Structure 1
Amino acid sequence: MHDTGTEVFPTWMPPHLRLMQLVAAKWITQPLVALARLDIADLLISGPRAVEDLADACGVKPDPLRRCLRATAAVGVFAELADGRYSLTPMGRHLASGTELSLRDFTLFLSDESTTRSFDRILDVLRTGRPSFEDANGKPLFDYLDDEPELRAIYQGAWAPLTAGVTRALMDTFDFTGFKVAADLGGGTGMLLRTILDAHPGIRGILMDRPEVVRHAHPDLITGSLAGRVELVAGTLPADVPPDADAYIIKNALHCLSQEAVTATLRAVRAAIGDRSDARLLLIESVITPGNGYDWGRFIDIEVMINCGGRVHTHAEWEELLTSCGFTLTDASGLLPPQWLLTAQPS
């Protein structure tokens, strides 16, 4: 595959053009979204193809398709070859479905009309301090997903490939040997929990998530090879923290909650642990780093601020939160960027 090496901000780009590119981001993102909806990356996964061939395969006109491909090639997602055909770059490969760390569903979710409507109301968020998704769509984000099965599947698909990458990094970073029960709170369809149970036959698992999500848990956890070792719990945080686990895992759920709900969840986990000093709380979250450097956590923070009233925390904020809820933060390690593993023990 062809790699252009193109940078989003080439070194020659003067400050006014850098600002123009940020302000006019839709000139890049909207062509990318259209190409994702047409599955262009899937069509190119086996090799370069002519624009006319691609247009015929997905029922569009060659000229506007070429212009969208040309625009996205300028930022390194696709590449135009000398003979006029287009190919995938290493970045563009992540736009294809079924590839490692695929971002196809992620792209479709962030561009869905429901989330663009909420972002259109960002000034309301600034004025009121409240998330705008409910005002824009008639109900809170996760209630909306419960009632929209197609979008809910896209939402789950958006995080599944990233969860797979994070899970591999977690298994390399944290040793689950010696734990008896691992509870994955807000664990989606159970990808992370399945991996832990596969690697540690002596561990039992608890998968807790919203009823509509648990209902669609992976077949291995419902009727398959792991069903006898897993308890499925339909519930929400902070109300439904199950007792009796000695490893509590919360991946990318707390940043979707209000500060009050985060505190209540941490306290509920601490109460469930009781006096078992060997129990551990594992938080997988983005962490905002100091300084002015490029930091994905700052952008995820905007997403959750607008759509669900959540927050991405700094290391110091996590330390303070955990201490106030009866935990000691013992380790903070990088996983798959932008994710960190925060390990805490009862204090």
Structure 2
Amino acid sequence: MINRICSLLVHHGVLGVSLDDDIFHRRYCLTSVSKYFARGNQQDGVSLAPLMDLVLDKVYLDGWSQLKNAILEGGLPFNRVHGMHAYEYAGRDGRLSQVFNTAMFSRTAIIVKKILESFKGFENLKQVVDVGGGIGVALNLITSKYPNIKGINFDLPRVIKHAPSFPVMMSLRSIIFEIILWCFCVISPKVTFNLTSSLIGI
């Protein structure tokens, strides 16, 4: 069974394989893809393993039991199981909140470092706002490379309270959309689904 699973992963390039003289004995190894999922394998220690911890967490997996009903009757599977949105649930569950923050930290670090290797659009900026910036990982990486930039991290109060203190960066705990009007660059990952219609209309 293990060999069949590994063979499938080899077929998709997730694992590599070498054959001994005996074709029944195979040695599997990590590839450039699977290295991203190995804890501590990257030079900076970040990987996509925490993201897998999040999506495979029982709280999230329980939502799949309502997938059929959500399709037939509407709504979100997670909401149908837990009675609230996943972000609201994480705000009430300290354990899940930690799992979520760790997953976003690792994923964001990998993506932003790749962006900073080739993207030069930050060079002449003085201020950057990260809307939905979580605990400030993206802005910390950006301002570390471009210390002339003042970073403003913008997220919900329950998220910001876990944010570490980074130099040349401040975190906003309240909804003040006017700040966007005088900023030079706004990073806005998928955040609008967390906002009420009255806030979006501001």
Q: Does 1:88 align with 2:64?
A: no
Tell whether 2:168 aligns with 1:233: no
Task: Please name the residue that 1:247 is paired with.
Answer: 185
Check whether the contact 1:186–1:207 (CA below 8 A) recurs between aligned residues: yes
Match of 1:205 among 151, 154, 171: 151
| 8 Å contact kept, 1:182–1:245 | yes
- Report the 3-state secondary structure (helix = DSSP H, G, I; strand = E; otherwise coil) of the residue aligned with 2:177: coil
Pairing 1:146–2:91 present: yes
8 Å contact kept, 1:191–1:218: no
Change (3 A) 1:150 1:259: closer
Aligned to 1:163: 108
Checking the alignment, whether the CA contact within 8 Å between 2:47 and 2:106 is kept in structure 1 is yes
Match of 2:8 among 71, 74, 81: 74
The alpha-carbon distance between structure 1 residues 245 and 199, as it changes in their structure 2 partners (threshold 3 A), is: same
Aligned with residue 190 of structure 1, among 136, 139, 151: 136
- The residue identity in structure 1 corresponding to 2:34 is G
Aligned residues: 188
- TM-score, normalising length: structure 1: 0.47
- 1:72-120 deviation line (CA, Å, top 9, x unaligned): 3432245576485754321332221133462211212111222222122
Q: Give, in angstroms, the shift of residue 207 of structure 1.
A: 0.8
- Runs (4 or more) in structure 1 with deviation over 6 Å come to none
Residue deviations 1:130-155, cap 9 Å, x none? 22212212332112112222322222
Larger Rg: 1
| Residue from 165, 170, 177 that aligns with 2:123 | 177
Q: Any gaps of 5 or more consecutive residues in structure 1?
A: 1-66, 269-347
Q: Is the contact between residue 206 and residue 231 of structure 1 (CA under 8 Å) also seen in structure 2?
A: yes
Question: In structure 1, what residue type is equivalent to 2:127?
Answer: V
The root-mean-square deviation of aligned C-alpha atoms, in Å, is: 3.0
**Structure 2 residue identity aligned to 1:155:** F
Distance (whole Å) between structure 1 residues aligned to residue 35 and residue 54 of structure 2: 18
Matches within 5 A, 1:74-153: 74-76=8-10, 77-78=14-15, 79=17, 82=20, 84=25, 87-90=28-31, 91-100=33-42, 102-153=47-98
**Contiguous gaps of at least 5 residues in structure 2:** none
Instruction: Indicate conservation of the 8 Å contact 1:73/1:80, yes or no.
Output: no
- Rounded to whole Å, the distance in 2 between the matches of 1:167 and 1:75 is 27
Q: TM-score, normalised by structure 2?
A: 0.75
